[in-house]
Structure 1
Amino acid sequence: MAYGFTYKGRHCSELGARLLRYVVNSPELREYEDEPAGLPGVLDFGTELGKREIEITVDIDPNAVEFKRRQSEILTWLKPTAAVGILVFDDVPDRFYYAKLSGRLVPEQIGRYGEFRFTMKCTDPFAYGPERIHEDSLTASPFLFALESEGSEPTPPVIELTNNGAGTINEFTLTIEYETE
């Protein structure tokens, strides 16, 4: 498989495209502030993350298919009027983005060879990783275990408890600690 990316379950190499470069930009910031009359500076009411853009450049391997036809195939694959799809880059296979084409598919053609530049928009600015499941049998009291998040954002765990025994558990205490900003 050529170096590239997968979008909506299809690798770019299936369309004869090879990833030349990509830039995952930091999310846009929405800053809420006010300039009070007669006072220096601003009043800061906080900041939120906006959309994230990913700039992608691919080249097209020359073959018997006309460049314009391949351009049309790639545009159909990226289809900006469809819902977002999962975007995964080969060099970071354990992270994915929810993205869709934004703006134009900009071609540069020399005969059957060419390049395309385009931007993917992530309205959800975060990169996601695979779900991790930790299973344990509680055999003592107290019973402690620690799970580390491999992501860059603090994420609270989702905990599901199942009683596999014959007896009824009448009371227990669950303490969850995780760091936030």
Structure 2
Amino acid sequence: MGFTFAGIHSEQHGLRVLDVKRPISPGIAAKTVKVPGKAGVYDMGNEVDALHISVEVLLTGQTLREIRDRVRAVAAWLRNDDRTGMLTFDDEPDKAYTARLTDQTELEEMALTGQATLTFLAADPLAYAVEDDVFTSESGMLSFQRKGTAPSQPLIEITGESGGMDGGFEVGLNGSMMTYKGPLGFGERLVIDSRLKTAYLLKTDGTKQSALNAFDSLIFPLTLPGKENQLQVSPLGAATVDQVKITCRSCWY
């Protein structure tokens, strides 16, 4: 088994993967508040930590110089210009983490081999679908099921027209409702991004204009695994809906 990081497979650098340690789930810590005079504590839910993935690898070469050259090439690849990269494993090629190499990686050299443990940090501990679930509708209504085991923060895009004032759109997903009362011109898109907690108009020239102030609520909707999700975009006043698109960002614990 091997892994792919930042678009490059471990075999391309002559790495043999000996072991991969992926926790069943990221660390979970209880949030509690102690109040003087009260027995016990108040339960404030959980805090979820980042995910650490350890990969034990073996590197071989014909000479010590070749091993050192390979080590430096591997270091440059995994450093990735100090950027995160997509990390996938051969046994789950449909799932990817956004990760970066962390901690100091020590290479244990013996004869013409080198062995090391690589530690990747996934600040977002969820694994995301490499090929996401994307659904579209011209009626403004969608009923769909998506992959994954964890709730996800979707991207919703609406095309149509609204003159503002009393016009706009009601956007409902799984019982969560947001109402937009604002303009939407021909060829523009109204984008609701639950992950970034923002909404904007994507203009015909490619620029973005914030639309947050035109919403009555900033409680952004989620898609849910293992059930039928219901999305409905209803025009208000003289507004019209041409197409609704949802990118689910399907994910797994």
Output the TM-score relative to the length of structure 1. 0.76
Q: Which amino acid aligns with 2:57?
A: V
Q: Which residue of 1 aligns with 2:126?
A: 126
Q: Which residue of 2 aligns with 1:6?
A: 4
Q: Which residue of 1 aligns with 2:41?
A: 42
Secondary structure of the 1:13 match is helix
Q: Determine the C-alpha separation between the residues in 2 that align with 1:38 and 1:125.
A: 37
Q: Which amino acid aligns with 2:116?
A: F
1:122-174 C-alpha deviation (Å, 9 max, x unpaired) = 11111110222335666xxxx976421211112365454667xxxxxxxx987
Secondary structure of the 1:152 match is coil
| Contact 2:133-2:146 at 8 Å conserved across structures | no
Tell me by how many angstroms 1:45 deviates. Answer: 1.6
Q: Which residue of 2 aligns with 1:74?
A: 74
Q: Which residue of 2 aligns with 1:29?
A: 28
Structure 2 residues not aligned, in runs of 5+? 161-168, 175-222, 226-253
The two structures, once aligned, show a CA RMSD in angstroms of 2.9
Q: Determine the C-alpha separation between the residues in 2 that align with 1:7 and 1:153.
A: 23
1:38-81 C-alpha deviation (Å, 9 max, x unpaired) = 43322122223221100111111333553232222211111176
Secondary structure of the 1:134 match is strand
Q: Which amino acid aligns with 1:32?
A: K
Q: What is the total number of aligned residue pairs between the two structures?
A: 168
Measured at CA, do residues 131 and 59 of structure 1 come closer, stay the same or move farther in structure 2, by a change above 3 Å? Answer: same
1:25-174 equivalences in 2 (<5 Å): 25=23, 26-64=25-63, 66-79=66-79, 82-129=82-129, 130-135=131-136, 146-155=143-152, 157-160=154-157
Tell me by how many angstroms 1:29 deviates. Answer: 2.9
Secondary structure of the 1:79 match is helix
Measured at CA, do residues 46 and 90 of structure 1 come closer, stay the same or move farther in structure 2, by a change above 3 Å? Answer: same
Secondary structure of the 1:108 match is strand
Q: Determine the C-alpha separation between the residues in 2 that align with 1:42 and 1:89.
A: 41
More strand by share: 2
Q: Which amino acid aligns with 2:68?
A: K
Measured at CA, do residues 105 and 80 of structure 1 come closer, stay the same or move farther in structure 2, by a change above 3 Å? Answer: farther
Q: Which moved more, 1:37-46 or 1:17-26?
A: 37-46
